[in-house]
Chain A
Amino acid sequence: MTYELCLAQYLSVTLGDTFLRYTTTVGIFTLTLGGMSLLYDRFAHRIHRPQYFIASQLLLFVVAFVSQYWIPYFGPDNPVICHLPLFAIGFISGYELPYLIRESENALKNKVLAFDYFGMFSATLLFPLFLFPQLGVKNTLLILALFNLFTAVVFYFSLGKKAKI
């Protein structure tokens, strides 16, 4: 379950916004991702909640959906505003993996990490060779946003089961 979540998310985040300049994109994204991971343990007692995880998925869905209109709308004249969705995606994604790692048992932690890498692997191969040329940026974003929505729904129901037991 956790693995699937990881895969789905990492597909989405790695693919998020490539039509911005490549280096700035990767830089901002990885830095916000890293920043969030660093902060996570410090604030874990406050932010480590399943509700927040679901919320993060829904937020990602919204941000991914909005960003495709956001970026062309503000155009090249407002580079800072244009990069805001990127920061948002970075921060929210930076929340996901630490949540999943903390949630899983000790023995599984490295495996979550491994699946995170696998997710990025499939993204790096799928995106340039298939998704980007076949579907284009807009449809890819849409599909990934739906992935996130799907994750949120699945996670919600699996929580429900746990609660019953």
Chain B
Amino acid sequence: MIYLLALVVSFCSISYQILISKTLLQFSTDEVFSQSLTLGVYLASMGIGAFVADHFFQKSRQVGFVVIEFILSILGCVAVPLIYILSVFFMVFNQDQSFSDLFSPDRYYRIIFFQIFTFAIGFLTGFEIPILNALNRTKTGRDSLNTFLGISYVGTVIGSFLIPLWIIPRVDLITVGVFVSFFNLICLAGASWLFLKRTPQRVLGLFLLALGMFVNYSVLTVAPKVTQIYKKAYYADVSFVEFNLENIRQAYRLFNFLKPIETYSSVYQMIDIVPANLAPAGAEIFQEFAKDFSLYLNMAPQFSENTYKFYHESMVFGGINLNKTSPQKVLILGGGDGLLVAELLKIPSVEKIVLVELDPLMIHIAKTHPVISRFNQRALEDAKVEVIVGDAFHYIRNTKESFDAILVDFPFPASYELGRLFSIEFYSVVIERLRDNGYVIADIPLLTQQEAVKSGISPTPQEIMVNTMLASGFKSLVTFGPMDGFVFAKKETQSLRFDYEKLPDEIDFRTRLNLNAFEIENLKLSPEFVNSVYKPQRFRWR
């Protein structure tokens, strides 16, 4: 029984850690930093907890354990909503607006600030195993810390599989917190029943249980509302100059008034869709809340109604223009929104398109969402298109087919996981799948010379990509796109220049502006900058 307690408490704690880590991920494009910091703080505070555990609760470990379970359950279920609400305050009453800017440099401070929750949860968790072991020792006379340790490892495994793979794709993050918190309450009940023998102690246990249940229930009822307010504050860019009660009321009324943000989550990512005008029907006069219809992945912008056209045109027409010939068989990696396919289908020479997308939810949204399926003109259902749901790296390693053009439309490499798709190992396989005179074009973050100097980022993302692709065997390449960056590469030696005369007349004027090559001569060439799965580069662009 006591072992079961150990199993559940370690499950709960790792789950909270994963939950906070997922929540904080939304603040930053640097997943590597945010995830390792959260895990690090959690482990360290657990260490501190275990280190000082002997000095606390010497009078009554039983009551101590029950109280710890209570605090953990409360902390666990209020952590995410509190992070959300505090962020809303920062966003709405912060004049410099830096919080709503995902790329602002001080995002690091915010991520560090919210580690107080991780610390508190980790610290209390550190007590649990030593206390349980001590209680068990007084009962049985044996020390079985090793057994407890083993059990807590098992609990950790269950948590780290169950939460991200099964729970998070199904409900919003606040509800996940309540779900886990409920297990803590079960432990509280179990511990009260097992350890507390005197009546006043039992009354205390019952009281804490009831209080915990009440808090759980209240958080659960406000969960959808808090999530919506947080997302609206993030996407609608509302700000008040003065921080006072009246303005808080105003802001609250405003958020209730705006149209809801559509949110979806899958195992891989969180997908938010912001409607074209946030003001509700009949109140369109509120022009300041008119926003582009846009789609965000993990709260980073993916495309918007206003800009998707020139992004995809740049990739399709820019690639063909540089290559001088039109492709017949095309492979698209990523791009599950179907917008790139729609653009490609306009090219008469294209006979076959294979699209490989990781996230089935994205494909589903692209096919069924009323607005997005209008944007992509149901291109994914076209007879020329074959949609494959799976890992692009896996597909390209195993396919026997070859292509005239490979279009790589991945999210920017914010994590090592995504960075694998920008590596020498990846492009060494891509080059083998290219037919003669074929080309590959990929979207990458590009920094101008000034931006690179100002931010002090070295190597720049384009330096990493150019070095990586040269090392993969590409002979000629060019980077272009002051507004949306791309790299274009071929295995043949060829001078790559845009032929503006040949561009079709009907393309967006912004596409023309974007088809502008970057000076490649200034790039530092060094094998040091090659991005490899085994020796990765950390891409930074803001």
Question: Contact between B47 and A117 (Cβ–Cβ < 8 Å)?
Answer: yes
Chain A residues, CB < 8 A from B41:
121
- CA–CA, A125 to B37, complex, Å? 7
Question: Contact between B153 and A34 (Cβ–Cβ < 8 Å)?
Answer: yes
With A37-B150, A110-B54 known as contacts, the answer to whether A133 contacts B47 (CB < 8 A) is no
Question: Contact between A26 and B160 (Cβ–Cβ < 8 Å)?
Answer: yes
Chain A residues, CB < 8 A from B145:
101, 109-110, 113
B179-212 interface mask toward A, CB cutoff 8 Å, 1 = contact, 0 = none? 0000000000000000000000000000000000
B52-77 interface mask toward A, CB cutoff 8 Å, 1 = contact, 0 = none? 01100000000000000000000000
Query: Is residue B283 within 8 Å, beta carbon to beta carbon, of the partner chain?
Result: no
- CA–CA, A109 to B126, complex, Å? 13
Chain A residues, CB < 8 A from B133:
109
Q: Which of A31, A40, A124 contacts B146 (CB 8 A)?
A: A40
Question: Contact between B129 and A113 (Cβ–Cβ < 8 Å)?
Answer: yes
- CA–CA, A85 to B246, complex, Å? 63
Question: Contact between B534 and A137 (Cβ–Cβ < 8 Å)?
Answer: yes
- CA–CA, A149 to B165, complex, Å? 38
Question: Contact between A117 and B150 (Cβ–Cβ < 8 Å)?
Answer: no
Question: Contact between B536 and A133 (Cβ–Cβ < 8 Å)?
Answer: yes
Question: Contact between A110 and B51 (Cβ–Cβ < 8 Å)?
Answer: yes
Query: Is residue B379 within 8 Å, beta carbon to beta carbon, of the partner chain?
Result: no
Residues of chain A from 85 to 140 with CB closer than 8 A to chain B in the complex: 97-98, 101-102, 106-107, 109-111, 113-118, 120-121, 124-125, 127-129, 132-133, 135-138
Chain A residues, CB < 8 A from B48:
114
Query: Is residue A36 within 8 Å, beta carbon to beta carbon, of the partner chain?
Result: yes
With A27-B160, A27-B161 known as contacts, the answer to whether A41 contacts B535 (CB < 8 A) is no
Query: Is residue B33 within 8 Å, beta carbon to beta carbon, of the partner chain?
Result: yes
Q: Which of A27, A114, A128 contacts B50 (CB 8 A)?
A: A114
Question: Contact between A41 and B146 (Cβ–Cβ < 8 Å)?
Answer: yes
Residues of chain B from 130 to 171 with CB closer than 8 A to chain A in the complex: 130, 133, 143-147, 149-154, 156-157, 160-161, 165
Chain B proximity of A12: nearest CB distance (Å): 16
Main secondary structure, interface of B, reads: helix
Q: How many A-B residue pairs have CB under 8 A?
A: 125
Question: Contact between A36 and B537 (Cβ–Cβ < 8 Å)?
Answer: no
Query: Is residue B43 within 8 Å, beta carbon to beta carbon, of the partner chain?
Result: yes
- CA–CA, A34 to B151, complex, Å? 6
Q: Which of B35, B156, B165 contacts A30 (CB 8 A)?
A: B156
- CA–CA, A41 to B35, complex, Å? 34
Question: Contact between B36 and A124 (Cβ–Cβ < 8 Å)?
Answer: yes
- CA–CA, A110 to B165, complex, Å? 32
With A35-B150, A124-B39, A129-B32 known as contacts, the answer to whether A136 contacts B532 (CB < 8 A) is yes
B48 — nearest CB in chain A belongs to which residue? A114
Chain A residues, CB < 8 A from B537:
133
Question: Contact between B50 and A113 (Cβ–Cβ < 8 Å)?
Answer: yes
Chain B residues, CB < 8 A from A27:
157, 160-161
Quick one: which of B44, B47, B397, B537 has the most chain A CB within 10 A?
A: B47
Q: Which of B44, B397, B534 contacts A138 (CB 8 A)?
A: B534
Query: Is residue A23 within 8 Å, beta carbon to beta carbon, of the partner chain?
Result: yes
Query: Is residue A22 within 8 Å, beta carbon to beta carbon, of the partner chain?
Result: yes
Query: Is residue B533 within 8 Å, beta carbon to beta carbon, of the partner chain?
Result: yes
Number of interface residues of A (CB under 8 A): 45
Query: Is residue B40 within 8 Å, beta carbon to beta carbon, of the partner chain?
Result: yes
Chain A residues, CB < 8 A from B157:
26-27, 30-31, 34
With A33-B153, A34-B153, A137-B534 known as contacts, the answer to whether A132 contacts B416 (CB < 8 A) is yes
Chain A residues, CB < 8 A from B51:
110-111, 114
Q: Which of B36, B49, B151, B532 contacts A125 (CB 8 A)?
A: B36
- CA–CA, A128 to B40, complex, Å? 11
Chain A residues, CB < 8 A from B147:
37-38, 41
- CA–CA, A39 to B538, complex, Å? 41
Query: Is residue B46 within 8 Å, beta carbon to beta carbon, of the partner chain?
Result: yes
Residues of chain A from 20 to 66 with CB closer than 8 A to chain B in the complex: 22-23, 26-27, 30-31, 33-41
Chain B residues, CB < 8 A from A129:
32-33, 36
Chain B residues, CB < 8 A from A69:
none
With A27-B157, A111-B51, A114-B51 known as contacts, the answer to whether A121 contacts B44 (CB < 8 A) is yes
Chain A proximity of B536: nearest CB distance (Å): 6
Query: Is residue B417 within 8 Å, beta carbon to beta carbon, of the partner chain?
Result: yes
Question: Contact between B153 and A31 (Cβ–Cβ < 8 Å)?
Answer: yes
Chain B residues, CB < 8 A from A35:
150
Quick one: which of B33, B157, B538 has the most chain A CB within 10 A?
A: B157
Chain B residues, CB < 8 A from A36:
150
Chain B residues, CB < 8 A from A107:
54
- CA–CA, A35 to B157, complex, Å? 12
Chain A proximity of B377: nearest CB distance (Å): 37
Given A120-B43, A129-B32, 10 extra CB contacts under 8 A: A26-B157, A30-B154, A30-B160, A97-B146, A113-B149, A124-B39, A124-B43, A125-B36, A133-B537, A138-B535
Where the two chains meet, the residues of A that have a C-beta atom closer than 8 Å to any C-beta of B are 19, 22-23, 26-27, 30-31, 33-41, 76, 97-98, 101-102, 106-107, 109-111, 113-118, 120-121, 124-125, 127-129, 132-133, 135-138
The 6 closest A-B pairs by CB, nearest first: A136-B535, A34-B153, A37-B150, A117-B47, A38-B150, A114-B51
Where the two chains meet, the residues of B that have a C-beta atom closer than 8 Å to any C-beta of A are 32-33, 35-37, 39-41, 43-44, 46-51, 53-54, 126, 129-130, 133, 143-147, 149-154, 156-157, 160-161, 165, 397, 416-417, 532-538
What are 30 A-B interface contacts by the 8 Å CB criterion?
A23-B160, A27-B160, A30-B160, A34-B151, A34-B157, A35-B150, A37-B150, A38-B151, A41-B146, A41-B147, A76-B397, A98-B149, A102-B146, A106-B143, A109-B133, A110-B51, A110-B54, A113-B145, A114-B48, A117-B50, A117-B126, A118-B47, A121-B41, A124-B39, A124-B43, A128-B36, A128-B416, A132-B536, A133-B536, A137-B535
